[in-house]
Structure 1
Amino acid sequence: MADSTTLIPATELAAKNKAHFPNESSEYRQARNALLAEELELRRHIERVAALRRAPPHGGTVPDDYPLESEYGTVRFSDLFGDKQTLVIYSAMFGPQRKRPCPMCTTLLTSWDGTARNLRERVALAVTARSPIERLLDFKKERGWQNLQLYSDTKGDYTRSYVSAEDADMPAVNIFTRRDGTIRHFWAAEMSGDTADPGQDPRGAPDIDPSWTVLDLTPEGRGADWYPKLEYTPTH
């Protein structure tokens, strides 16, 4: 969104809303249109933040062409780009010390598996974890993932550089660019427990897990004590 663009006030746009639903009260419609104005402002703020995210100078060059293990053998970090110039890489919590993968990482990646075919039209997409590749592939088969490409950071060099210097079992999202043969770090999710607001779990903005975004639309919201699980008890 260009800075020179003059935008109609959100309240004026909301006043043009013609949506109505059966048996709604005038109080509901008034409150809904007020909410619509805030949603319009949120959309605009998301656009402003996205523009700021694209604006910083070049990030640091990647110090090593890290070796990773794929289902076909050893590959190098640069291989993950394929024919693309941007790489999105998610580091999942599934280190060798874990009996099972993180349920929240699994929920996110299940959503990403569905859209990976679309994303790959624009960017390269990879998932890494510290467990051996055989363990990652077994879980991929268990969950029925079809489109995610998993890699084991067996040596942990990538993880210690871009996820946790202490090699902690924690999630991370990093984005890298390749321009004129040089690979640089572009962006990482840097919100953490230290930046969380009172009463909230640490979360990014916007949230990259669509499950939470859908729940934010509901009257129950995210809730204070609900978290994804790997398996659920059948309700009927």
Structure 2
Amino acid sequence: MQSQVVTRDEWVAARKALLQKEKDLVRARDALSSELRALPMVKLDKDYKFHGPEGSVVILEDLFGGKDQLIVYHFMFGPDAERGCKGCAFIGEHIPDLRHLRSRNTSMVVVSRAPFDKLDAWKKKIGWTFPWYSSEGSDFNYDFHATIDPAVRPVEYNFSDAAELEAKGLKWNLAGEQPGLSVFFRKDGVVYHTYSSYSRGLDHLLGTYQLLDMTPLGRQDGPQGPAEFQLKYEYDAEA
């Protein structure tokens, strides 16, 4: 996009007009965040099992790591895949130093259906340090709509059923692994599901996009969106 060239005074006037819209958006986001925190919760009645390091098997409550809140990123890496989804890998690059979250009584883990050893090997190849667990053999992915299989659960992704997804032209969401994020809260030994987000609802996790959005050229995305970014070792191979 070619921007118009103007005088400094004209630029300041245009910037002030945009600044007001930015402030309105921040206030709207603050209000939305307040509504999000006030969402009702659903008590969980399953002891989901996860596979972790050294052959360990843990339940969902263990993933809290002693904290009261847990964020789970549903990473697309199916049992038969040789590597994880590149779009999810781009999100993985934006997971912060988890000590910041822990200082706010919150833990974060990544969960996929691939066997733990496969997840761990790929994680080490890329150089990630976040906890990554396998939900292989568990209903976890299906119950939270991160794996779609009509033979297991009725199709639902991003709170839309199969007919709604087809009407929107989102046929790739009708089966297989899907990206998402879910939040859980623990109180008095009981675990509750409080929030889930999918698809474009994950955009605000991507600091690279937030920076590019402030530039004249923007995101420069092709049809594959975040999956077009390279993995760390692919960048290294080009150096």
Alpha-carbon contact 2:186-2:192 (below 8 Å) kept: yes
- Decide which structure has greater strand share: 2
Q: Which residue of 1 aligns with 2:230?
A: 229
Could you tell me how far apart the structure 2 residues matched to 1:224 and 1:107 are?
13
Runs of 4+ in 1 over 6 A off after TM superposition: 233-236
Q: Which residue of 2 aligns with 1:51?
A: 34
Q: Which amino acid aligns with 2:193?
A: H
2:183 corresponds, among 150, 172, 175, to 175
Deviation of the 1:84 alpha carbon = 0.8
Matched, 1:84 2:67: yes
Q: Which amino acid aligns with 1:220?
A: L
Q: What SS is found at the alignment partner of 1:155? A: coil
Could you tell me how far apart the structure 2 residues matched to 1:205 and 1:77 are?
22
Could you tell me how far apart the structure 2 residues matched to 1:149 and 1:233 are?
24
1:136 corresponds, among 105, 119, 122, to 119
Larger radius of gyration: 1
Q: Any residues of structure 2 matched to 1:171-210 within 5 Å, and which? A: 171-190=179-198, 192=199, 203-204=200-201, 207-210=204-207
Q: What SS is found at the alignment partner of 2:62? A: helix
Could you tell me how far apart the structure 2 residues matched to 1:129 and 1:234 are?
27
Deviation of the 1:125 alpha carbon = 0.7
Q: Any residues of structure 2 matched to 1:1-236 within 5 Å, and which? A: 25-57=8-40, 59-72=41-54, 73-112=56-95, 114-122=96-104, 123-146=106-129, 148-162=130-144, 163-166=146-149, 168-190=176-198, 192=199, 203-204=200-201, 207-225=204-222, 227-230=228-231, 231-232=234-235
Of structures 1 and 2, the one scoring higher in RCO (CA 8 A, sep 6+) is 2
Deviation of the 1:174 alpha carbon = 0.2
TM-score w.r.t. the length of structure 2 is 0.77
What do the CA deviations read for 1:2-30 (whole angstroms, capped 9, x no partner)?
Answer: xxxxxxxxxxxxxxxxxxxxx96111111
Pairs aligned (count): 200
Q: Which amino acid aligns with 1:121?
A: S
- Percent of pairs identical after alignment? 31
Deviation of the 1:209 alpha carbon = 1.7
Deviation of the 1:97 alpha carbon = 2.5
Q: Which moved more, 1:166-175 or 1:101-110?
A: 166-175
Sort the Cα spacing of 1:165 and 1:107 in 2 relative to 1 into closer, same or farther, 3 A: closer
5+ unaligned residues in a row in structure 2: which ranges?
1-5, 153-175
5+ unaligned residues in a row in structure 1: which ranges?
1-22, 193-202
- Decide which structure has greater helix share: 2
What do the CA deviations read for 1:104-136 (whole angstroms, capped 9, x no partner)?
Answer: 111111220x43221122201110111111111
Alpha-carbon contact 1:104-1:229 (below 8 Å) kept: no
What do the CA deviations read for 1:65-93 (whole angstroms, capped 9, x no partner)?
Answer: 11100113111111011211111001101
Alpha-carbon contact 1:178-1:184 (below 8 Å) kept: yes
Q: What SS is found at the alignment partner of 1:207? A: helix
Deviation of the 1:233 alpha carbon = 8.3
Alpha-carbon contact 1:176-1:183 (below 8 Å) kept: yes
TM-score w.r.t. the length of structure 1 is 0.78
Deviation of the 1:206 alpha carbon = 6.0
Deviation of the 1:223 alpha carbon = 2.4
